[in-house]
Amino acid sequence: MTSHFDPASETAHRQADWERAAPYIDWLDAADELEDLWASATARAVVSEDLVARAEAVPGEWKLIVLSEDWCLDATSTIPPVAALAAAASNLDLRVLDRDDNLELMDEHLTNGTARSIPIVIVLDGGGVERAWWGPRPADLQAWFYGDGQEMEKEDRYRELRKWYARDRGQTTVREIVELLEEVSGAGGVA
């Protein structure tokens, strides 16, 4: 499972984290690792009009905090399209925190309860209350990675991972984020 939603746990106020986070473009400008890859992925990021419309149909204002690092290849494949969604949808805003500078927050969003895997997208409502989180990969890819992918040599597994991301172009990630927004807002949506 890559998204986490518990309507009973709407108590984590993250406004201070939000205020510390950098706008995506500022974070990108400060990136030291994989600069060309980040720039090209950001320039190529396109989100379908349907997904933008679905995101804009979600009632309220929403904030997305991304926990990541500039060296993360999974992030270069997933975060630029999510940033494009946030730029296109008038009710979304996105900012980024470096994981290694925010380990306490990271430790509240561990993959399988143990791994500091990134990227993580934390969904906040307009009041800065955490409502859900997503990450570190789209659900089907994560299931493959920890299932059949484990039977491959590491180099081959990561080659297949990169091929999947190249074919998908971030669209599965964006769809999962939109579905998560629909779920936490009670807006429903189209599966």
DSSP 120-167: EEEEEETTSBEEEEE-SS-HHHHHHHHTGGGGS-HHHHHHHHHHHHHH
Q: Does pLDDT of 10 surpass 70?
A: no
Distance of alpha carbon 87 from alpha carbon 91, whole angstroms: 9
Q: How crowded is the C-beta side of 18, counted as CA atoms within 13 Å?
A: 18
pLDDT of 9 higher than 90: no
Q: What is the pLDDT confidence band of residue 117, given thresholds at 50, 70 and 90?
A: very high
Position 188 scores a pLDDT of 66
Q: Quick check: pTM over 0.85?
A: yes
Residue 132 near residue 5, CB atoms below 8 Å: yes
Beta-carbon count within 10 A of 167 CB: 9
Q: What is the pLDDT of residues 52-65, one digit of tens each?
A: 999 999 999 999 99
Spatial separation of the C-alpha atoms in residues 56 and 34, rounded to whole Å = 32
Instruction: Check pLDDT > 70 for residue 2.
Output: no
Q: pLDDT confidence of 18, banded at 50, 70, 90?
A: very high
Superfamily of the domain at 3-136+170-185: Glutaredoxin (3.40.30.10)
**pLDDT for position 12:** 83
> 133-175: per-residue pLDDT in tens?
999 999 999 999 889 999 999 999 999 999 999 999 999 999 9
Q: CA 157, CA 188: separation in Å to the nearest integer?
A: 35
Amino acid letter, residue 138: P
